[in-house]
Amino acid sequence: MSPAPGTPVDALIAKARDRSAIFGIVGLGYVGLPLAMELVRAGYKVIGFDVNQRTVEGLNAGRSHIQDVPTRAVADAVKAGKFSATADLSRMGEPDAISICVPTPLSKTKDPDVSYVLAATESVKKTLRRGQLVILESTTYPGTTRELMLPALESTGLKVGVDFFLAFSPERVDPGNPKYNTRNTPKVVGGITPHCRAATVALYQPAIDTLVPVSSPEAAELVKILENTFRSVNIGLANEMAIVCDKLGVDVWEVIEAASTKPFGFMKFTPGPGVGGHCIPLDPHYLAWKMRTLNYKTRFIELAGEVNAEMPEYWVTKVADGLNDQGKAVRGSRVLVVGVAYKKDIDDIRESPALDVLKLLQQRGASVSYHDPHIPTLKEDTLDLTSVPLTAETLGRADCVIIVTDHSTVDYGLVARASRHVVDTRHVLPGRTPA
């Protein structure tokens, strides 16, 4: 179905073609800021919206707070007049397209917390005008775009697909990935109507190498959840295999490496201290929650979640066993945690298993410290710590060292030489197997 000349969708597509469209990005974090910079690079003018005044002021001064976005990129965009940030949500009527990139955490009962999405939708609703496109990027459960956002936006009297446009396009950010970024990671798009999808594809096309249109927002919402559920389930299997191998006296890493030589039918996943970040620990629970409302239990999802959540306790028990071998109790022992980011070479601690490891050790009475070149200070719940230098002296003072995050810049040879006992959750020590 082609848009009629002169219609709002036709006008949006024309603005995409000549880059005269103005983009609004709501939420300038790990998802929003990289997207904003790619849109600027494609030739668009971008207004960034964020409720954190400190973030806004820093960006307008040309400073990046996101590791994957160089400060030079922000400074150049601001200087060229192509990017500005604001905390004034009443300006949402200015952009032609608005991408919502706000957090979607889980509540303590593992239910989706869509309060940030609802707040952003309410702000958009207040200034929604004819010809605007609204794109939700935040990962959420299937039905969010149609069931929560659409009624709110249509309550203005504007009709979706005719007067304004609404789509879901899940973020696929992988912080710290040196190969795949916002531009070269294929982007899935599902619109409420064909015109919604067409407008979204047209506007993103200059900034994203490959776009993957799907039939509906629900399909797009499920794509993101499937991707991370796939990873969660397979990581859960690898973690359970680590426990199985431990009980059988077999090296799990040897088994995985040998299995990965099969050229078909096997995909390599490795065990570790648990899973972290905003996606893998959370996204599968969105689907599990949605299916519970339909009286269906997602057994694979829930089992994988249980296995992965238990891994910090498993590794803390390994620390206790290692201390016991030295004739020491956990209580009163000095334990140094190496790496607290949720994965290597990034500065993000969201849902990091290291936080659970530290808290569990504290609860057992250990004196804990940590080293992480990317996280200078750590203030989270009961934790209030500062990263210590990784030297022979700090390693030697520790009764046990546990490697939780395998940052590339860490001298693991020094860790192996200078430590009394090491628990290696990532299999990074030279010539050694995990404790």
Quick: pLDDT tens for 211-234. 999 999 999 999 999 999 999 999
Query: What is the rounded average pLDDT of the residues 373-383?
Result: 93
Report residue 5's pLDDT band, with 50, 70 and 90 as the boundaries: low
Given a cut of 90, is residue 339 above it in pLDDT? yes
Query: What is the rounded average pLDDT of the residues 168-195?
Result: 95
pLDDT computed for residue 134 by the predictor: 98
**Distance of alpha carbon 149 from alpha carbon 190, whole angstroms:** 14
pLDDT computed for residue 278 by the predictor: 73
Given a cut of 60, is residue 333 above it in pLDDT? yes
Given a cut of 80, is residue 432 above it in pLDDT? no
**Distance of alpha carbon 434 from alpha carbon 425, whole angstroms:** 6
pLDDT computed for residue 431 by the predictor: 64
**Would you say 344 and 300 are in contact if contact means Cβ atoms under 8 Å apart?**
no
Q: Cα 15–18–20 angle (5° rounding)?
A: 55
Taking domain 8-215, whether its CATH number is 1.10.3470.10 is answered by: no
Q: Cα 309–275–384 angle (5° rounding)?
A: 85
pLDDT computed for residue 2 by the predictor: 46
> Where does CATH 3.40.50.720 sit in the chain?
8-215, 235-424
pLDDT computed for residue 185 by the predictor: 97
Model pLDDT for residues 130-164, shown as the tens digit of each residue: 999 999 999 999 999 999 999 999 999 999 999 99
Determine the 3-state secondary structure of 335 from DSSP.
strand
Model pLDDT for residues 24-61, shown as the tens digit of each residue: 999 999 999 999 999 999 999 999 999 999 999 999 99
- pTM, entire model: 0.91
Lowest mean pLDDT among 189-198, 270-279, 289-298: 270-279
**Would you say 303 and 310 are in contact if contact means Cβ atoms under 8 Å apart?**
no
Given a cut of 50, is residue 96 above it in pLDDT? yes
**Which of 1.10.10.10, 3.40.190.10, 3.40.50.360, 3.40.50.720 is the CATH number of 235-424?**
3.40.50.720
* HSE toward the beta carbon, residue 400, CA cutoff 13 A: 30
By annotation, the residues acting in catalysis are 279
Q: Which two tokens stand for residue 210?
A: 């490959």
